[in-house]
Structures are given as C-alpha cells and as structure tokens.
Amino acid sequence: MAAAAGPWARGLWRACNGLMAAFFALAAYVQVNDPDAELWVVVYMIPAVLTLLVGFNPLVTGNFIWKSVSVIHMLFCMVWAVGLGYYLLLHTQQNILHEEEGRELSGLVIITAWMTLCHSSAN
C-alpha cells in the first residue's frame, strides 16, 4: 500500500482482504465432500490465513516468512494451473466450468491473482 494513500484506502484494502480471507475459508469449507478434499482444503486455507494476516496488518507483506510462504504457494498454484489448463485443452468438449478441473483451474487462478495483489502491495 502506498505511503501517500489515505486512511480510507487502507481501510478499504483491509476490508477487501477480510472478504477474500472469508471467501478462501468458505471455499475450503465446501471441499469437504470432494474426493480429494484434504488437498483442496490446504490449497484454500493457506491464502485464507495469509490474506487474513494482511487484513489485520497490511505491513505483514514485508515479512520474510509471509513473502516466502506466499511465493511458494503462488508458484505451486501456477504450475498446477498450467497442468490443468493443458489437460483441459486436450480433453474438454464443453464449457470448462462444467468440468471439475475447470472449476479447480478457476480457483487456482483466483488464488494466484489475489496473492499477487497482496504481494505487490508491499511495494
């Protein structure tokens, strides 16, 4: 978050991170009846915790541990998204959101996009 940003901008950024933390936590919660729920709960809970921390204290994005965990998770999500995208390119015959892999790809893209925004807010 820029130093010149007003208090309303900081409050808005905190609120957005709170909403996204709730979104990621809810996404983790609805995975309970998925065949590979253990994996997806972890995939969604990591950004839920990281964005909740940003919501509480936006300066946490400058912390080495926060940066390390977020970068590793983003790289993991990007590699997985590329793999899913390739699979969908070869095997999808209808709208990708009708396939479980397409919805998984969308989740990975949302995670990567939001974590990138959080990561860039440290500058």
Residue 7 has pLDDT above 70, yes or no: yes
Confidence of residue 5 (pLDDT cuts 50, 70, 90): low
Helix axes 37-56, 64-91, angle to 10 degrees: 140
Give the length of the chain. Answer: 123
CA atoms of 92 and 46, how far apart (whole Å): 29
pLDDT at residue 97 in the model? 81
Contacts of 53 (CB under 8 A, 6+ apart): 60, 66
Per-residue pLDDT tens digits for 29-44: 998 888 888 999 999 9
Confidence of residue 117 (pLDDT cuts 50, 70, 90): very high
Residue with token string 């909403």 = 19
Residue 9 has pLDDT above 90, yes or no: no
Confidence of residue 123 (pLDDT cuts 50, 70, 90): low
* DSSP state, residue 94: S
